[in-house]
């Protein structure tokens, strides 16, 4: 690189490099998860476990579960990864998104006592005008960047909802704002994230 | 099939984040089985969760966690491929999550008369809020009721009209407490809806006084 090149160029190049390497990492995790589904290879599972279990545990703790329970539910969620890996389809979701939904479902199961409501999305029929045919590793990367660029008050409600498992009414109460404001902040955040997904705002 | 009323983004985000009470989650799950548009948005909302998982500061699991789980894998069979299929409102009367839950057809449910052409079945979910099936006779109008939180309605049979529009089978009404509306069953057929709230329904006054037959349809 030329010495007189503006610093901005370097920064952009570095950012691009970081994005590329994160995308590559996502592709690798998706590929591992796909191969786990095909081979049921314990060594592959161990790799996935080492990366995802500490993240799943962090997520579950943030939802407010006691530590000992969080450890148990993490094990259950990772066991679900093992049991369901053959259902993972890297054309439909990034590995982290898929594992997020398993961990979320495991937490919901743990917290309710009654007859379970079906939480899994149905199998898609082939859809001629399917819009999300872009690569999921790229979408996940864009989503990541988009979340980082949200205004603070939108990022805050997003985190309270996803990370702390707070309902909209609880968020309203905690922040001392009307329920309608919580929802409109979430809507604004979501419409920005959707533009990165390639949908119209 | 024509679904013309969908969920608010904020509702689908709460569903994806896993923060809806069970009854509301059931209403969303049912509509998702019928609606590709909302399914698409839920996938996007779940990707938000995936991005957060990528970004989170990991917390170490116990030293023996990996060995423990590896030791148990042989006893854990692969999950059976689920036969959860999407359908269209014109194919089966009930969406899969509701028919699994009820295990009965709408006509075989123990409908309880609650006054003036209105019947209900309480689904008795635990926790916050409530989920009920409502059956309204032709011409019945539901007077205003108050609720402190949100109310989700999925039309299963028939239709109604209110200030917002016409709601037919497959449509959802996603209302918060500041929306005032007065649904009126607008055909000669009963209208059956699944309604869930995140706070108990509060009828202001004696229920019977509030439920009036619509006159003049
Ligand atoms: Zn919809």
Domain locations along chain B: 1-56+91-217
Tens digits of residue pLDDT in A113-157: 444 555 565 555 544 444 444 567 777 778 888 888 999 999 999
**Chain A nearest CA to B14, separation (Å):** 7
Nearest-CB residue to A113 (from B50, B100, B126): B126
> Quick one: which of B49, B172, B154 has its CA closest to A77?
B49
What's residue B200's pLDDT? Answer: 56
> What is the pTM for the complete model shown?
0.86
What's residue A131's pLDDT? Answer: 45
Please list every residue in chain B whose beta carbon sits closer than 8 Å to the beta carbon of residue A163. 52, 56
Nearest-CB residue to A59 (from B53, B66, B176): B53
Mutation target to probe the B interface, by most B beta carbons within 10 A, among A91, A111, A122 is A122
Burial of B168 (0-12, 13-18, 19+ CB in 10 A): buried
CA B10 to CA A191: how far, in whole Å? 10
Q: Please check whether the domain covering B1-56+91-217 is classified as CATH 2.60.120.10.
A: yes
What is the SS3 assignment for chain A?
Answer: CCCCCCHHHHHHHHHHHHHHHHHHHHHHHHHHHHHHHHHCCHHHHHHHHHHHHHHHHHHHHHCCCCHHHHHHHHHHHHHHHHHHHHHCCCCCCCHHHHHHHHHHHHHHHHHCCCCCCCCCCCECCCCCCCCCCCCHHHHHHHHHHHHHCCCHHHHHHHHHHHCCCCCHHHHHHHHCCCHHHHHHHHHHHHHHHHHHHCCCC
pLDDT exceeds cutoff 60 at A4: no
What's residue A90's pLDDT? Answer: 87
In order of their start, the domains of chain A are 12-117 (1.10.1740.10), 150-201 (1.10.10.10)
Adjacency order of strands within the sheet including B118-122: B112-115, B118-122, B130-136, B191-197, B150-157, B172-176
Percentage, residues of chain A above pLDDT 70: 80
**Hey, are the CB atoms on A74 and B60 less than 8 Å from each other?**
no
Task: State mean pLDDT over A98-109.
Answer: 92
Nearest-CB residue to A101 (from B46, B56, B85): B46
Residue B210 belongs to what H/E stretch?
helix B207-210
Q: Considering only residues B118 and A112, tell me which one the structure prediction assigns the higher pLDDT.
A: B118
For residue B58, give the DSSP letter: P
Q: Which two tokens stand for residue A187?
A: 């809507």
Categorize the per-residue pLDDT at A52 as very low, low, confident or very high, splitting at 50, 70 and 90: very high
Task: State mean pLDDT over A150-177.
Answer: 93
Q: ipTM more than 0.95?
A: no
**Chain A nearest CA to B115, separation (Å):** 29
Categorize the per-residue pLDDT at A65 as very low, low, confident or very high, splitting at 50, 70 and 90: confident
CA A96 to CA A159: how far, in whole Å? 17
pLDDT exceeds cutoff 70 at A42: yes
What's residue A78's pLDDT? Answer: 97
Residue ranges of chain B whose pLDDT lies below 70? 1, 81-91, 126-127, 143-148, 177-180, 199-217
What's residue B30's pLDDT? Answer: 94
Q: Is residue A109 within 8 angstroms of chain B, CB to CB?
A: no
């Amino acid at each position: 690189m030329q010495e007189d090149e503006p610093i901005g160029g370097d920064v952009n190049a570095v950012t691009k490099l970081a994005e590329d390497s994160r995308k590559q990492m996502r592709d690798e995790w998706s590929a591992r998860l796909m191969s786990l589904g095909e081979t049921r290879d314990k060594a592959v599972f161990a790799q996935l476990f080492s990366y995802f279990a500490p993240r799943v545990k962090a997520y579950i703790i943030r939802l407010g579960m006691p530590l000992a329970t969080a450890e148990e539910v993490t094990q259950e969620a990772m066991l679900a990864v093992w049991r369901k890996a053959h259902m993972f389809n890297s054309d439909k979701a990034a590995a982290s998104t898929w594992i997020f939904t398993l961990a979320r479902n495991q937490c919901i199961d743990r917290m309710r006592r009654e007859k379970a409501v079906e939480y899994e999305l149905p199998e898609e029929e082939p859809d001629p005008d399917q819009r999300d045919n872009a690569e999921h590793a790229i979408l996940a990367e864009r989503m990541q960047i988009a979340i980082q660029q949200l205004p603070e008050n939108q990022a805050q409600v997003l985190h309270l909802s996803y990370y702390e498992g707070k309902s909209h009414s609880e968020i309203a109460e905690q922040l001392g704002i009307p329920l309608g404001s919580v929802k409109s902040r979430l809507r604004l955040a979501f419409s920005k994230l959707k533009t990165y997904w390639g949908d119209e705002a | 099939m024509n679904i013309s009323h969908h969920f608010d983004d904020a509702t689908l985000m709460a569903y994806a984040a896993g923060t809806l009470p069970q009854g509301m989650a059931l209403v969303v799950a049912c509509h998702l089985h019928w609606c590709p548009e909302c399914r698409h948005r839920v996938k996007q909302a779940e990707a938000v969760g995936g991005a957060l998982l990528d970004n989170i500061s990991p917390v170490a699991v116990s030293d023996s966690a990996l060995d423990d789980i590896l030791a148990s894998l042989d006893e854990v069979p692969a999950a059976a491929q689920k036969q959860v299929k999407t359908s269209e409102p014109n194919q089966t009367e009930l969406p899969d999550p509701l028919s699994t839950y009820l295990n009965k057809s709408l006509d075989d449910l123990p409908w309880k008369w609650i006054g003036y052409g209105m019947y209900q079945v309480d689904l008795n979910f635990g926790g916050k809020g409530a989920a009920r099936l409502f059956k309204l006779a032709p011409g019945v109008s539901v007077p205003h009721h108050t609720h402190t939180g949100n109310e989700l309605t999925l039309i299963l049979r028939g239709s109604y009209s209110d200030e917002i529009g016409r709601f037919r089978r497959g449509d959802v009404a996603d209302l918060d407490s500041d929306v005032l509306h007065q649904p009126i069953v607008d055909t000669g057929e009963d209208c059956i809806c699944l309604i869930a709230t995140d706070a108990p329904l509060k009828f202001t006054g004696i229920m019977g006084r509030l439920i009036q037959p619509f006159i003049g349809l």
